[in-house]
Chain A
Amino acid sequence: MAQPFLRFENGKISLNNKDLMVNSASLSIAPSLTVEKVYGDYDPSIAGARTEFVNFAPTSNLKGQLNISFYISSDVISPNSVNRLFELVDVANPDNSKKTISESPINGNIVGRYIFDNMYLTSFNFSLSPFQLIVANATYDIYGTIGKVADTYFTKSNVDFAHAMKSFGEVKISNQQSSEEFEIQDLNYNINVERNISNRIKYNEVGPTSVLTGGVVPARVSVESITSEVSIKSSDMVENLNSYGDQQNLSTQQSIPDSSVDVYLYGLNGERISRFRCAGKIQNQSFSITEGSNASSSITIKQIVR
């Protein structure tokens, strides 16, 4: 029998049958129910029909979400780690030509005492700040139910997160090198996947899935649009921003290249671990100055990957 309380050390996180060192995880799952009420018998005290509650009826499949937060290290970011997550990392890396990720579910997942399948990545983001650990977040959609397993333990990682990574950000506004102007104070990188599901009748009602507790699971969870977005905090704004989201220093808006932010992650020994790129249009920028502090600005660039 499981202990009544589950300590963090005992709540192993394993995705796609691979252990992951996370600093927090939250798992939720909920059926989609509607209330059915009907007209009942005549009641003279109200001179009309009573209403009767009949049942809660399901209207869609069980759907859940897993959010994990973890420190990025050269160990974690290795392509040998959580495959599907790093498919998305590959999409964000211009050195790879990958434009999409697999539609297959991520199976064999454990969070604490709970085990489940049919998980699909929907977003990945991380933040870079000077002298801070790099914290990444990933969000997954889950279909079907969850089971329970015996408590499992973390294996102590020998990675020292505090000294494991170096990072470097390079900003080009409309292809103009701007590293001096844009001294990056803070950077947020997001990549989001929009998905679409198909719940088929016979797929779920004939054969093995028809008797599973989780009931209906989607026959297909397609990958539709993939967008990346980066927000940087700096000390300056882009001048001559035109309505197309580009910096226009000449009289024509023709042939102005996209603005881009490249984020490089390096290991302690200087090896490049990964490169995240967002090359698109400037979505917004802001500037603020306050007594007692330096001026700061914020610029957001968005790329349509797919």
Chain B
Amino acid sequence: MSINYSNISHYGGNYTADVAYEKFDFVFNERDGLYYYAKNDINQQDNIVDPSLDSDNWSSDTFFFDADYGSSVNFQCENKKSEYSDGYYIYQPVGINSVKMQVDLQFKNRSNKEANAILHFVESHLGQYEKDRSSPNLKYSQGINGFSWGQESSFHPYDSAEINSKKFYCLEYSHSLNFENSNDVNVKLSNFDTSLLNKSEALYINAATAYDETEYYEKNDIVLFEDNHKYYYCISDEAVSERSPAVRTITWQRNGGYFLEENEDIWTRDFLWKPSLGLKISQAPRLKSIKLAQDYTQIHRDGINENSLVLDLEFNNRTDDEARAILHYLEHHYGCVPFRFNVPAPYEKDRNFLCQTWTHTYNYKNNHSIKAKFEEFPFNLDASKYDAIVTEPILRESEFSIASSISFTDDSENLLYQNKFRKRVTFKNSGDKPLEINSVAIENGPFEIVARNSANDVPILVESREYDYTFQLNADSSLPFELSNQNIKMFKQYSDGVSGGITFAAIDSSGNRLVNNGKASSFLQKNDGVILNLATGEVSADYAKFINEIFIQNNSNSYTIESGEIGYVDVYYNGLLTLNDFRSQINELGDLITVVPTSKTFYGDLHFSIIHSDGSTEIIKTTLKIELHR
């Protein structure tokens, strides 16, 4: 039995598959404990056992009701204001979700059935779900309600997959019972989790596409110039192509940093839309007064910027394209990024403004009105100057950082002189500019580098880069477990020590992991070269190489290390020392005695040849040290 969350009576009861339903019928589904709302008339023969399996005809968590013209959307930016003397101030977002949207949907002259469905929908999405639903994400969101604003209801310029996937809440709604079977319903939907971190994709307004030289653009088109991640708004009355909004420059400049804006007759970042008639300007200058005896008062200005403008602007009767451009522009200034706007004469000098609140009303098809409050910002800079308001720091030359000595050890297990032993050696470019590794080599000692088969090989990889971990092993009879010529997928993780190593799995031609006797393929090649079949427990020491050799060969094709990147090279003790190498002659009391100690430390050198960004070269040497036991 369902729990009635709603004030609305006459809901359709529990869902059954053997009856026909009409659009806006709503039922309780005992299978998942949710209410479902019919999106269409549904014939009996079309019914299926569970309405959750028929999203074309039933909706549970998607608000699909089609609103009337006259619906509006309110935007409010939550910013913290820091005020300084002389009228200077800044706004800073209170958090990453500072731009808030509230959709005010008007449903006029709706039938009782539709009005009941709308009201029941919002009432049954106010609190907890009747039953907890398993969540693949965070546990604490389990059961907390909310719903999506479906594509059947969302309108231009919010009719996108991004907006349809956002979570909305209804905190306020009203109902007018006008006449028999005639109702007006007003529903306000709010979203609280749209992050400014998505600014290069989309916040609320339909996303702008990246600038493309081959595309034609016309007035009110919006592009994202991906090099500097700035939006540009087309002001050309004619369609144009191959007119880029900006170019990258070699040196940093005060206007635009590394980007020089061009084609300013085509693209702008100023607010160039003209307001509708009806502008009223009220001013309250910031003044100070001194009251003296005998009720004598003196008034004087409170410094400069004492009479900043506050404008309530209207942009009425705008087309779909113009409304989208204006809304996108305001949205992407977050109420805290100043922009340039030329106020109508006699206030016509270029000024900077901030806009923290605006309202969009969808009047009619291709007719939109936007009301916005502009506050004057006490600077007058164009957008490119704000981009470069912080002077570019002087970059330090690249710097190759590596430990001066690298020890091949395992705290829990002795390293035997007969066995190989691999170790990952990491290094970092701790400078600000990129460097290039010209060569890497073992200069002396019982060490070798994995995948360095000739002097020209530079088998280095970078931790943060994406590589292809799928490859085919060579045809090699020494490969155990039918791994010869086998496609494998290597796993990214590497663990240190004798028992550590690299895991991998055999895969088929489609990339799927092979399964044998119900167990998925899984192998570990330890750092001493031994391969463990983790599915069967079998062990083989037949293969003399390391399986990641092919992976390194396939992927080590760039030798440039960018600032901050960490690279690595796999070095291994080659297992070629003998007992003779342990023998030492000690001169004690004048006698020569040959001893064979149980352990002995051996040394080697790892050399990197570096080319810095300024063309200078450097040889970096690090000592390799390994304590071997006999």
Determine, out of B150-158, B165-173, B262-270, the stretch whose residues face the partner at the interface.
B150-158
Residues of chain B contacted by A177 (CB below 8 angstroms):
none
Shortest CB-to-CB span from A108 to chain B, Å, is 24
Number of interface residues of A (CB under 8 A): 38
Partner of A48, one of B69, B277, B346: B346
Assess whether B108 is interfacial by the CB under 8 Å rule.
yes
Residues of chain A contacted by B180 (CB below 8 angstroms):
224, 306
Of the candidates B109, B179, B363, the one having the most CB atoms from chain A within 10 angstroms of its own CB is B109
Q: Which residue of B lies closest to A215 (CB)?
A: B365
Interface residues on B, range: 35 or more
Assess whether A129 is interfacial by the CB under 8 Å rule.
no
B276/A59 in contact, CB under 8 A: no
Assess whether A185 is interfacial by the CB under 8 Å rule.
no
Q: Which residue of A lies closest to B347 (CB)?
A: A49
Q: Mark A108-131, 1 if CB is under 8 A from B, else 0.
A: 000000000000000000000000
Query: Of residues 275 to 324 in B, which have CB atoms within 8 Å of A's CB atoms?
Result: 275-277, 279, 316-317
Residues of chain B contacted by A55 (CB below 8 angstroms):
317
B365/A216 in contact, CB under 8 A: yes
Assess whether A186 is interfacial by the CB under 8 Å rule.
no
Assess whether B362 is interfacial by the CB under 8 Å rule.
yes
Assess whether B542 is interfacial by the CB under 8 Å rule.
no
The docked-state distance in angstroms from the alpha carbon of A249 to that of B423 is 117
Q: Which residue of A lies closest to B365 (CB)?
A: A216
The docked-state distance in angstroms from the alpha carbon of A39 to that of B181 is 45
**A42 in contact with B179 given A36-B276, A201-B69, A201-B362 (CB within 8 Å):** no
Residues of chain B contacted by A2 (CB below 8 angstroms):
none
The docked-state distance in angstroms from the alpha carbon of A37 to that of B315 is 10
Query: Of residues 342 to 379 in B, which have CB atoms within 8 Å of A's CB atoms?
Result: 344-346, 348, 362-367
Assess whether B178 is interfacial by the CB under 8 Å rule.
yes
The docked-state distance in angstroms from the alpha carbon of A211 to that of B156 is 16
Q: Mark A154-188, 1 if CB is under 8 A from B, else 0.
A: 00000000000000000000000000000000000
Assess whether A304 is interfacial by the CB under 8 Å rule.
no
With contacts A58-B366, A59-B363, A200-B68 known, what are 10 further pairs, Cβ within 8 A? A38-B275, A38-B277, A49-B348, A55-B317, A198-B108, A199-B69, A201-B71, A219-B66, A222-B179, A224-B178
For the complex of A and B, 8 pairs with smallest distance between CB atoms = A57-B317, A39-B344, A38-B274, A36-B317, A42-B345, A198-B109, A49-B345, A49-B344
15 contacts between A and B (CB under 8 A): A36-B317, A38-B274, A39-B344, A49-B346, A49-B348, A51-B277, A196-B109, A198-B68, A201-B68, A201-B69, A201-B155, A205-B155, A205-B365, A216-B69, A222-B181
Interface residues in chain B, defined as those with a beta carbon under 8 Å from any beta carbon in chain A: 66-69, 71, 107-111, 152-153, 155-156, 178-182, 274-277, 279, 316-317, 344-346, 348, 362-367
Interface residues in chain A, defined as those with a beta carbon under 8 Å from any beta carbon in chain B: 34, 36-43, 47-49, 51-52, 54-55, 57-60, 196-205, 215-216, 219-220, 222, 224-225, 306
